[in-house]
Structure 1
Amino acid sequence: MHLKEHISYCPKCGAKTFSFDKKRFVCSSCQFDLYINASAAVAALILNDNGELLLARRKFDPMKGTLDLPGGFVDVHETAENAIKREIKEELNLTITSLEYFCSFPNTYTFRENDYYTLDLTFICKVESLDDLNVNDDVSAVEFIEVKKIDTTEIGLSSIKTIVSTFQKSYKN
């Protein structure tokens, strides 16, 4: 469900003249604008020494129990690079030593019956060691799967399916 179906009063003047216009809400009483932009999110592609990709199981909805790439939302005033390092430390207790931008894809992230729009920025990450791997936060488990053998139908989020499919096509072991 889009936010436009929930928001009808202007947060500035309180008038019920707040309407959605393509990508923003506009108040015809006070001319207040509220833009609906994509939130930034990050995802990590982490390979082990056998060339298998680390995939996480989602601990919570949306898409609880499905495969995902580890990562999360970028905080306000945080770079994507710092966000991926923070998220990987929080979720997996791993320290990223290097990262390289791979690609980005848009996503509609439905949470508590509201659609939020994200732009998922993906990085190929190297970690200090996998010895301290420990699942926390939004992750219930991890699996290492050969890149070419990943069944993308087990991945819940559409952007992550596209990212993994794109990585599979480009991957040369």
Structure 2
Amino acid sequence: MDRTEPNIVIRYCPRCGSPHFLPQKDHSFKCGSCEFHFFTNSAAAVAALIINEKKELLLTVRGIEPDKGMLDLPGGFVERNESAEEALIREVREELGLEIEDYRYFVSYPNEYVFSGFKVYTTDLAFICTVRDFQGMKAQDDISSFVFIKKEDVDYSKISGKSIRRMVQDFFNS
């Protein structure tokens, strides 16, 4: 049994505190006391596919759990009242200090992200991006470093998350 699943972790109604907060067949929870209905919908996240002049892909190294030390794409969760595009620009600036000049939607995949012992289901959206330049780029926020990788040098077993692996594979195969 996966102890990070919402129906295992969520035990009490967030409105009234009742223990009668029961999982439903539609991936929601409903309180038997106050009738509060809560859905565990997918959270949106963004990822940037950025290449340099040598056609190498920029990958970051995760500086925090989950998967600390594994390769990832720059990006992160879309915040409340933020568009995916705004999140993309913000995340790349926060993590690397880079300014995105142009971007285009590429592909999306579902993913599962376990944080604090709780499984969050995500929809990860990838964008192909160009940046103004790589001057002053540095690892910040929740990444420890970065690397540029050629298609033939990618070790997919070192990439965090199945959605990110698929995005990198799709990018190099497009």
| C-alpha contact (below 8 Å) 1:9/1:16 kept by paired residues | yes
Letter in 2 for 1:30: C
Aligned match of 2:21? 18
* SS in structure 1 at match of 2:91: helix
What's the CA shift for 1:119?
0.7
Provide, for residues 84-121 of structure 1, a one-character-per-residue CA deviation record: whole Å limited to 9, x for no partner: 10000010000000000000011100112211111111
Matched, 1:2 2:36: no
* SS in structure 1 at match of 2:18: coil
Aligned match of 1:130? 134
Matched, 1:101 2:101: no
Counterpart Cα distance in 1 of 2:55 and 2:13: 52
What's the CA shift for 1:149?
2.7
Greater Cα shift, 21-30 or 53-62: 21-30
Counterpart Cα distance in 1 of 2:48 and 2:143: 13
| Of 120, 142, 146, the match for 1:142 | 146
Counterpart Cα distance in 2 of 1:135 and 1:16: 44
Which runs of 5 or more structure 1 residues have no equivalent in the other structure? Answer: none
TM-score with structure 2 setting the length: 0.94
Aligned match of 2:66? 62
| C-alpha contact (below 8 Å) 1:148/1:168 kept by paired residues | no
Aligned match of 1:37? 41
How many residue pairs get aligned? The number is 170
What's the CA shift for 1:129?
0.3
Counterpart Cα distance in 2 of 1:93 and 1:14: 43
* SS in structure 2 at match of 1:83: helix
| Of 156, 161, 164, the match for 1:160 | 164
What's the CA shift for 1:29?
2.4
What's the CA shift for 1:28?
2.1
What's the CA shift for 1:130?
0.7
TM-score with structure 1 setting the length: 0.94
Aligned match of 1:115? 119
| Of 64, 75, 91, the match for 1:87 | 91
What's the CA shift for 1:69?
0.3
What's the CA shift for 1:15?
2.3
Letter in 1 for 2:20: T
Q: What's the C-alpha RMSD, in Å, of the aligned pairs?
A: 1.1
* SS in structure 1 at match of 2:98: coil
Identity %, equivalent residues = 45
Letter in 2 for 1:140: S
Counterpart Cα distance in 2 of 1:116 and 1:77: 19
Counterpart Cα distance in 1 of 2:9 and 2:21: 11
